A and B are shown apart, each in its own frame.
Chain A
Amino acid sequence: VSRMGRPLLSLTLLSFLMSLGSGWAWTTPDCTIADSSLLSNISYYIPSCPLAPGLHLFASCSNVSDLAQTLTALPRRLEALCLQGTVPVLPADAFGHFPTLQLLRLQLGTLRITSGAFQRLDQLQHLFFEHPTPCCLSLLLPSDALEPLRFLNSLSFQGYCLNSSQNIQLPLSLSRLTLRHSCLTDLQELQGLFPSLVPGSSPTAISSPWPPFLEVLDLSANMQLSRVGVKTLRGLQLHSLRLDGTPLSALELLASGLLHLDSLSLVDTGAEKLPGNVTAYFELSTLDLGRNQIQHIGDEDLSGYHSLEHLNLHANGLHSLPTRFLSALPQLQRLNLSMNKLGPTLALPEGLVSSNLRVLDLSHNELSALPSGAFSSLPQLEELWLGGNNISNLSSEALEGLRWLKTLDLSWNQIKVLKLGWLSSLPALISLNLLGTYIENFSGRLLQGPQKLSHLWLGSPEILELYPPWPLTLLSLEVWAQSYIQFSVPHGKPFQFLESLTLQASYVLLHPGNNTVHFPSLRHLTLRGCSPGIFSTHKSQRFFPQLHSLEHLHFWSYHGGTEGLQLFGLPRLRVLELGNLDSLSESRPVNLEVLLEDLPQLEVLALSNLNLGNLSVSSFRGLGLLQLLLLNSEWALGLDSSLQEFIPQMPQYVYFSDVTFICQCESSWVGPWAARAPNTFVYGLEKSICMANASDYFKTPLLSFLSGHCPDNLELQSFLTSFTLVVLVIIFALLGCPNWSWLHHLQALFHAWWRKLGGRNHRSQYHYDVFISYCRQDRAWVLAELIPALEKPLPAGEGLRLCLPERDFGVGQDRMETTAASIESSKTILCVLSHQALGSPWCNLELRLATYRLVAKPGTTSLLLLFLEPIDRRQLCSYHRLARWLQKEDYLHLPQRSANWEAFWEQLRRRLRKAVQEKE
């Protein structure tokens, strides 16, 4: 990208500099780098990377085509990395930069992996090869490619066909192997792929000291997997096998050679009956049969299920349970019967009272009534899920006998009224969910009974009024209502230990309006749809006076932005998520400076759909600890040039998601900052567009606008200007200094060259061909001999224009000046020298002038000396002895005898002719 738009001093110089100048390089064009420990719902805003627990710092790159270039821009201390794009070959030591990488997820299309590709990934625990559309791309994995991964825990191939790879050596630490959506047709193929996994059948397998062991083998979604070879899995120690969505018959597993299996998942296999013998053979403890067609279970089907602890019959269209169900499953702890058709009246089979069942999920079963003592046969029950049914009436009798129940979910039922003491039979209840019910007046007295109730969800479609007293043990409270929630303020401190509060309503009211409600231990506060008045500057409207312990505030308002919102009294706030849910109305600009004035501990700031206008340094004053800044859905955002100074203190993570900028050169610093600022990770600029004004719907990418319209060549201009100035001063000072002869010589040569270059125009400056200098004593000879020989027309003489002082000088002219002028305008000067001439002052003067001219302006004239008689060199002035200026043929001696004169004339004429021609 050229930085120079306008030509400055010289086009050539510019083009030279431009060819040398380095352009901008977008180092991480499609990568997101984020730390999920800062903002847990970061994936809501920016492309994320599915993480394993305990991992936070991740990078997610899309459209990768040049792997090496993408990877060089990423920080070394990454923990997780997701790559999506098209890379045909994974080169050796591709991820050597990232010694701490623990999770690697590759969506790179058809892929060939070289054997050293995963070198130096000592800490890698999860490796995923994924392809989003089902089967199949080919993946070539050399047998020793996985060897360096000494701590690999889970390995997954999804949507890849491994047919071209053979003999893959799996690391010993591997406990989870996934092959989903692959082209597997027979379990026997596993032998060829992973010989170390199934050693018994492979003759070439290297015997290893440990028997092969896998926690989970996931072969789900292999549409063609229908055969299990005999004893194909012999020798493999396996805990859990997932065959979801495969046409494999469970019965065939019996012959596979597997000796032991704990858990089997057969989700969505179209089964209509319980696979009883498989369960019995392996003594399974977990069986997942979700989304199958088992509509009826007979008592006879339940033989061999003694060992079963977890059973999932989710979404099977089950109508009823067999009467011996619980007694046939004595070990059952967790039973999922959700999304079946067990309604309208719950009829649980009678069973042994000492049933081990702890978790029972009956949600979405169209239940409308719970008979009294419905769960009396399940005394150990700890969790009861009844959400999504039609229960309208609930009595304490129905819940009788659940002494250990901790979790009760009654959400999305038709409950309108609850009686006092309905929870009296549930002394151990901890969490109660009443979302989506129709209770409009909820008094704390309804909660009497349980001693440790700490989590409560309340919701009603329209309004909800809350009355004291509230249990002191409450830690988390979530209240939903459409129009308003009213808190009736009790005496004392009702929410003494409440840590988390979620309110979703248009208005939150206090019953005696002038009172306040205190939340001394509140740490997480989520507000959805509330008016910003809840944090108003006016004390009378303000709902929350002071929240000293609040650390997380998520505030989504509906009512035209954040007018009147001011956050103060929140000294420990670390995470602030602020947004306007109403995306249509044009909200008024938000003054961040006022809003964030008093939040000294803020680390994370996420702003959505607020009209922020122009961001400048003052907006972030006092936020020294800010680590993450997220701007989402902003319209016409400007970044002030004063932020440029703020670059070293910018938050470490800055994200722009769905932001439209204003096209202005003020923000031209953004480009280099986003691309190159160390330790700052910026996402979303390269996709952002900008607009010149409100009516501009032409989508100019921000960065191309900045590079195209904001040339920053002031530096270059100043450099060129000052440099030229200094050089010129040096040169002119040197040229102007009169002290150096070489300089004069150069000057004279230059003059001569210039004159020669000027060419014929200067011919007019010569009036005469020859200036003749002689003294009075030699006049006779000159007039008699010299003049005719030179001046006569061609056949007899030379036809030269001569200048004789006595003849050609005008009357009344100053002789000195005229002499100088005539010498100036003659092509040649001929000095007739004799002893008398040397004594004559005029002759000397003319000689001197001629010599001066010869020396000072070489090339303009030539000097000839004609000696009438022999003259000793010493008698001649020193400057005429200068051999340097006069050449041999410039000295002419008149022969003593006039007989030789003819030759002499000839010589003189030739010399003069030459001199005259030179001047032309």
Chain B
Amino acid sequence: MEAEPPLYPVARAAGPQGDEDPLGVPDGQAAPLDDLVGAYPNYNEEEEERRYYRRKRLGVLKNVLAASTGGSLTYGVYLGLLQMQLILHYDETYREVKYGNMGLPDIDSKMLMGINVTPIAALLYTPVLIRFFGTKWVMFLAVGIYALFVSTNYWERYYTLVPSAVTLGMAIVPLWASMGNYITRMAQKYYEYSHYKEQEQGPQNRPPRGSHAPYLLVFQVIFYGFFHLSFACAQLPMVYFLNHYLYDLNHTLYNVQSCGTNSHGILSGFNKTVLRTLPRSRNLIVVESVLMAVAFSAMLLVLGLCGAAYRPTEEIDLRSVGWGNIFQLPFKHVRDFRLRHLVPFFIYSGFEVLFACTGLALGYGVCSVGLERLAYLLAAYSLGASTASVLGLLGLWLPRSVPLVAGAVLQLLLTLCLFFWAPVPRVLQHSWLLYVAAALWGVGSALNKTGLSTLLGILYEDKERQDFIFTIYHWWQAVAIFAVYLGSSLPMKAKLSVLVLTLVAAVTSYLWMEQKLQRGVVPRQPRIPRPQHKVRGYRYLEDDNSDASDAEDERGHDGGGGGPGDGAEEEAPSAGPRPGPEPAGLSRRSCPYEQALGGDGPEE
């Protein structure tokens, strides 16, 4: 830009929206700068402002894209590696020749247990982690842990694989919760940057409820479009590497008797040897290095291109509500009937994605058309899901429940069809049916995932509780995945019945919730306590009243009124008896006495 870009933002940064420069420069010193800027003859403030916010919006878009690609690459690498290693380790010859008496099946089962069981504990630490490090940094850390997992697969031993799997299990919920939070937050930011005029006119007014929903919808569509592509990316190691080594279905499925709805467990009777020739360790290292490089670049992508989700002051505020409160708040959100009603849907959301990967792809797919077509089946699922994510945009015009219920109904129909379908092993005539089923299931998945995430973003607009909500969402998914892991040896019919029951329960419960909201039932939300800054450190060198930052000001009138509720109409009844503190928050910090009145006083 011809108008000297670096100067202008600095000048603007004094305003409430400056998030580039945490140390606000006192107003007094800005005066000479104004003179300097004024020296330009053709200075058009309106135009410059417009450009500035356009840059900001582009930055938000960049953040969304970077986070989506980063997440998708990470997950793709992780899935691809896991899939490849499990297939390799399944092969008896490979295992014995390469690892001998190391007990690899035992290590693998422990590894899977680590990945599946550890997330159960995530509810305890995820919010603390997110608040302590910040959303972006948790994303970065979790992606780093995924990369560490990839790295340990070079040297497969008990003491590398199992600890890294446990660590990975710990990182799953934080990663996806912070991703969801991040995307939602970006939508809100985008809304702020595109409606800066309204903000300027009335900085005290909150944006109208649901105003950021369209952006949220688009961003979630982008995110899940990328995310579902990761399943396809995960197939690349198989397509380009492992498939050359596999036996065809006549060998691998020689003893398989029944498939699909008649099958028990995962692929019973599957041949113990699946590798026609053994991959050389040097080739394996090359493949793992490629995966490692991708994981590493995903790390750098998240580190370098993802901007912070909050302003630094906001982060400090988020952190300052007291660790005890942060720990408790996810549990307190059970009071909210909306979340309670959505829990079956969360569980179903975990079920369905795992069913696609194990039940459908293995029990129906590999069982009948052989291991060599697994990659293409999952790719069909992935591409179906990725393209169908666009259908999430229907929410822009239709009621928000429509895409979600449509996905559920699609999957319900598919499940019922699968109930009566037992593909014949080693017969390829019906393989197109499998691909269609996988792709359709992907469509359902996409509608489910985008719908749920958007719904959460719309229902819980205030940034103080988004991380809790997304933690709860992904925690329930993790619980569902754990349940699938436990029940992997059940007969297929039992799995399908569980799936159908959960789905029906989820849809009913969700529709009931929507109906309750229509009736105007006000949900009870736990109050988020006021940030309580500890007297510490350099912050106090900046300004005498730095405690009352702009974030504090916002909080003052967002939350000060009825507590940090989503809006007046949804405020929890507990907030009813104390409408008092509203004017108090405007100019000064509330004193401990006032906070003590507020019920959820800070712990420290």
Interface residues of A (CB under 8 A from B): 20-22, 24-25, 641, 644-649, 669, 672-673, 675-678, 712, 714-716, 718-720, 722-723, 725-727, 729-730, 733-734, 737, 739, 741, 744-745, 848, 851-852, 855-856, 877-879, 882, 884
Contacts and interface: CB of A to CB of B under 8 A. Distances in A.
Interface string B107-145: 000000000000000000000000000100100110010
A729 B299 contact: yes
B83 interface: no
A78 to B, nearest CB: 19
A189 to B, nearest CB: 49
Given A714-B285, A739-B312, A878-B544, 18 more contacts: A20-B157, A22-B102, A645-B278, A648-B275, A648-B276, A648-B278, A676-B97, A676-B100, A718-B292, A719-B152, A722-B154, A722-B296, A729-B299, A739-B22, A739-B134, A741-B538, A879-B541, A884-B535
B273 interface: yes
A23 to B, nearest CB: 10
21 contacts: A24-B100, A646-B277, A648-B94, A648-B276, A673-B97, A677-B96, A715-B155, A715-B281, A715-B285, A718-B289, A718-B292, A719-B155, A729-B299, A729-B303, A733-B140, A737-B137, A739-B134, A741-B537, A741-B538, A851-B541, A855-B541
Contact of B537 (A24, A649, A737, A744): A744
* Interface pairs A-B: 6 shortest CB-CB: A719-B155, A719-B154, A645-B277, A722-B151, A730-B144, A676-B96
Nearest to A729: B299
B248 interface: no
Interface string B276-299: 111111100100110010001001
A669 B279 CA distance: 12
Nearest to A716: B155
A672 B154 CA distance: 19
A649 B315 contact: no
A672 B279 contact: no
Contacts of A729: 144, 296, 299-300, 303
B148 A877 contact: no
A677 B141 CA distance: 41
A719 B278 contact: no
Contacts of B276: 648-649
B134 A644 contact: no
B540 interface: yes
Nearest to B273: A648
Nearest to A722: B151
B152 A856 contact: no
Interface in B487-518: none
B147 interface: yes
Contact of B544 (A20, A673, A877): A877
A879 B540 contact: yes
Given A722-B151, A741-B539, A884-B535, A672 B100 contact: yes
B148 A884 contact: no
Contact of B541 (A641, A649, A852): A852
A90 B160 CA distance: 41
A648 B93 contact: yes
A123 to B, nearest CB: 26
Nearest to B289: A718
B308, B539, B540 interface centre (most CB from chain A within 10 Å): B540
B98 interface: yes
B159 interface: yes
Contacts of B279: 645
B278 A744 contact: no
A382 B159 CA distance: 77
A849 to B, nearest CB: 10
Contacts of A675: 100
Interface string B182-216: 00000000000000000000000000000000000
B97 A645 contact: no
Contacts of B281: 712, 714-715
B587 interface: no
B101 interface: yes
A641, A712, A739, A882 interface centre (most CB from chain B within 10 Å): A739
A723 B540 CA distance: 40
Contacts of B154: 715-716, 718-719, 722
Nearest to A648: B93
Contacts of A877: 544
Contact of A733 (B92, B150, B303): B303
A683 to B, nearest CB: 17
Interface string B522-552: 0000000000000111111100100000000
Contacts of A24: 100
Given A648-B93, A648-B273, A648-B277, A25 B100 contact: yes
A848 B543 CA distance: 12
Nearest to A726: B147
A215 B144 CA distance: 78
Contacts of B155: 715-716, 718-720
Given A719-B155, A723-B148, A645 B280 contact: yes
A833 to B, nearest CB: 18
Contacts of A723: 148, 151-152
Contacts of B289: 718, 722
Interface string B318-334: 00000000000000000
Contacts of B288: 718
A21 B292 CA distance: 23
A741 B316 CA distance: 10
Contacts of A641: 280
Contacts of A647: 93, 97, 277-278
Contact of B93 (A669, A677, A715, A727): A677
A726 B282 contact: no
Contacts of B160: 719
B540 A726 contact: no
Contacts of B277: 645-649
A882 B278 contact: no
B280 A726 contact: no
Contacts of B538: 741, 744, 852, 855-856
Nearest to A617: B277
Given A723-B148, A730-B144, A672 B285 contact: no
Nearest to A883: B535
Contacts of A719: 151-152, 154-155, 160
A672 B536 CA distance: 62
B459 to A, nearest CB: 29
Contacts of B540: 878-879, 882
B280 A882 contact: no
B537 A678 contact: no
B151 A726 contact: yes
Nearest to A650: B93
Contacts of B292: 718, 722
A745 B100 CA distance: 50
Contact of A734 (B137, B147, B245, B278): B137
B431 to A, nearest CB: 26
Contacts of A669: 97
Given A733-B303, A734-B137, A672 B97 contact: yes
B101, B150, B544 interface centre (most CB from chain A within 10 Å): B101
A726 to B, nearest CB: 5
Contact of B535 (A676, A744, A882): A882
B93 A678 contact: yes
B298 to A, nearest CB: 11
A730 B137 CA distance: 10
Contacts of B300: 729
Contacts of B280: 641, 644-645
B537 A672 contact: no
Nearest to A879: B540
A884 B500 CA distance: 61
Contact of A718 (B148, B273, B285): B285
A26 to B, nearest CB: 11
Given A719-B151, A741-B536, A20 B100 contact: no
Contacts of A649: 276-277
